[in-house]
Amino acid sequence: LVSRLPHVGTTVFTRMSQLAIDHGAVNLGQGFPDFACDPALVDLVTDAMRAGHNQYPPMTGLPALRQAIAAKIEATYGHRYDANTDITVTAGASQAIQSAILAVVHPGDEVIVIEPAYDCYAPAIALAGGVVVPVTMRLDADGYRVEWADVRAAVTPRTRMVVINTPHNPTGTILRQADLDALVAIVQDTQILVLSDEVYEHMVFDGEPHASVARHPALAERAFVVSSFGKTFHVTGWKIGYVAAPAALMVEFRKVHQYNVFCVNAPMQHAIAGYLQDPAPWRDLPAFYQAKRDLFRAGLAASRFTLLPSDGTYFQCVRYDAISDLSEAEFAEWLTREIKVAAIPVSAFYSQLKESHVVRFCFAKKDETLQLALERLAQL
C-alpha cells in the first residue's frame, strides 16, 4: 500500500499523553483543561436530550446556534455574517480546518503555513494534493514573531491560501492590528484566500484585544474564520466549533462538509445555542487564564528555564538551554520520565526538523495541578 501520508505518524499529543500516564507524570503536554466545565452547560445538554433533540439536525447546523454565533461575532468584532449562508457548525475546529482546505485547495496549489504550526494543517493540505510552503517565525529574546517580508517572499502565482493562527499554538504569540494590515497588503489584488484559526480567541491577556480577521473587511471577504467551543467552554472532548466565511466560500465548504460529517451532534448544538445567550463565560475567560499564566510564570521564575512571552492561548513556552543540551523531543521525554511533568517539544510543530531548545507547557489546569508541577520544575 502506498501511503497518502507517508511522513505522518501518531501525533505528539497522543504520544506525550500516553507517556505521562505510563510514568505517572503531571500532564502539561496535550492542551486540555483538567477542571470541569460549567454544570449549567451539562444541564442544557441533558435537557436537550430529554426534550428529544436526538435526531439529525440540519446539515449546516441548528438555525438557533448559527444565529447565536452570528450575533456573538457581530457584538464582539463588528462584522455581520449571515447566519444562513455564512456560518456552518462543525465537529470541532479540526473538521472545519480540514474541510475548508479540501474545499478550496487544488492539486499543485501552494499553501503558506507559518511555523511552528499546529499539526492539523499540513496533512489536510497534503490530502488535497497541495504543497505546504513553510514560513518560519523569528525567535529572539522577545519571543516568536511573524516576519511579514518572509511571507511576502513566499508568495508565488500558485499560492492559493495563507493559514494564520492567532492566538498562536504553540508559541502563545498574538497577531496585532499591524500584522493584519501587513497581511492585507500581501493578499489584496490577488486571489489568495486566508484560513484564520482563532480557536483561542477568548484567551488574550493584559487587556489586549483579539485581532480577529472578522474585524478586517479586506481579510474577512476572502477568509474562513474558525473557532472552537471546546476551548471557550472548557469542553475539548465535545468536538464542536464552527467556520464563518462569505457565502461564495461557504457554498464550497458545505459541499465537503455534507459528505464528511453531514452534521454535528444535536443535543450539544441545542445546549450551546442556549448557553451563548449570556456573554459572561467568554468575557471572563481572559482574566481566568491570565491568573493561571501568572501563577505558572511566577512559579518558574526561580528555575533555570527562560520564560518566553505568553500573550494568549493556554500555553507557556520556555527555553531550557541552561538546564540541558538534549534535543527538544529527548528533553520532553526526560522531563516526563524523570521529573514527572509532561511537556510538548516545539520541534513537533515544524515540517523540517528545527531545534531551538524550547518546550511548551499547558497551564489550563487546576491551581493544585500547576502547584504540583511547579514543585517539580522549580528544582531545575
**Contacting residues toward ligand PMP, per CB under 6 A:** 31, 92-94, 118, 165, 169, 197, 199, 228, 230, 236, 239, 241
Of the two residues 31 and 130, which places its CB atom closer to ligand PMP in the complex? 31
Q: Which residue of 95, 98, 169, 196 would you call a contact of ligand GLN, by CB under 6 A?
A: 169
In the complex, minimum distance from the CB of residue 14 to ligand GLN, in angstroms, rounded to a whole number: 6
Pairing of strands 138-140, 344-345: unpaired
End-to-end CA distance of the chain: 47
In the complex, minimum distance from the CB of residue 100 to ligand GLN, in angstroms, rounded to a whole number: 17
Handedness of CA 133, 92, 28, 300 (dihedral sign): positive
Of the two residues 60 and 228, which places its CB atom closer to ligand GLN in the complex? 228
Residue 228 contact partner, candidates ligand PMP, ligand GLN, none, CB within 5 to 8 A by sort of partner = ligand PMP
74 residue type, one letter: E
227 binds ligand GLN (CB under 6 A): no
**Contacts (CB under 6 A) with ligand GLN, residues 19-38:** 30-31
Of the two residues 81 and 229, which places its CB atom closer to ligand GLN in the complex? 229
11 binds ligand GLN (CB under 6 A): yes
| Whether residue 217 has a cis bond before it, omega within 30° of 0 | no
Q: What residue number has its CB nearest to ligand GLN?
A: 31
310 binds ligand GLN (CB under 6 A): no
13 binds ligand GLN (CB under 6 A): yes
Pairing of strands 26-27, 341-342: parallel
Of the two residues 92 and 286, which places its CB atom closer to ligand PMP in the complex? 92
Residue 345 contact partner, candidates ligand PMP, ligand GLN, none, CB within 5 to 8 A by sort of partner = none
d(CA 320, CA 9): 26
Task: Answer whether 13's CB lies under 8 Å from 344's CB.
Answer: yes
Of the two residues 243 and 323, which places its CB atom closer to ligand PMP in the complex? 243
Task: Answer whether 236's CB lies under 8 Å from 245's CB.
Answer: no
Question: For residue 18, what is its C-alpha cell?
Answer: 500516553
Residue 11 contact partner, candidates ligand PMP, ligand GLN, none, CB within 5 to 8 A by sort of partner = ligand GLN
Q: How many chain residues touch ligand GLN (CB under 6 A)?
A: 5
Of the two residues 11 and 260, which places its CB atom closer to ligand GLN in the complex? 11
H-type helices in the chain, by residue range? 12-22, 39-50, 63-77, 92-104, 121-127, 148-154, 177-187, 217-220, 229-232, 247-260, 266-275, 280-283, 285-300, 328-334, 367-377
Task: Answer whether 66's CB lies under 8 Å from 83's CB.
Answer: yes
Rg of the Cα atoms in the chain: 20
Residue 93 contact partner, candidates ligand GLN, ligand PMP, none, CB within 5 to 8 A by sort of partner = ligand PMP
d(CA 35, CA 365): 7
Q: What residue number has its CB nearest to ligand PMP?
A: 92
Of the two residues 169 and 227, which places its CB atom closer to ligand GLN in the complex? 169
Task: Answer whether 210's CB lies under 8 Å from 199's CB.
Answer: no
Q: Is 80 helix (H, G, I), strand (E, B) or coil?
A: coil
Residue 30 contact partner, candidates ligand GLN, ligand PMP, none, CB within 5 to 8 A by sort of partner = ligand GLN
Residues that bind ligand GLN (CB under 6 A): 11, 13, 30-31, 169
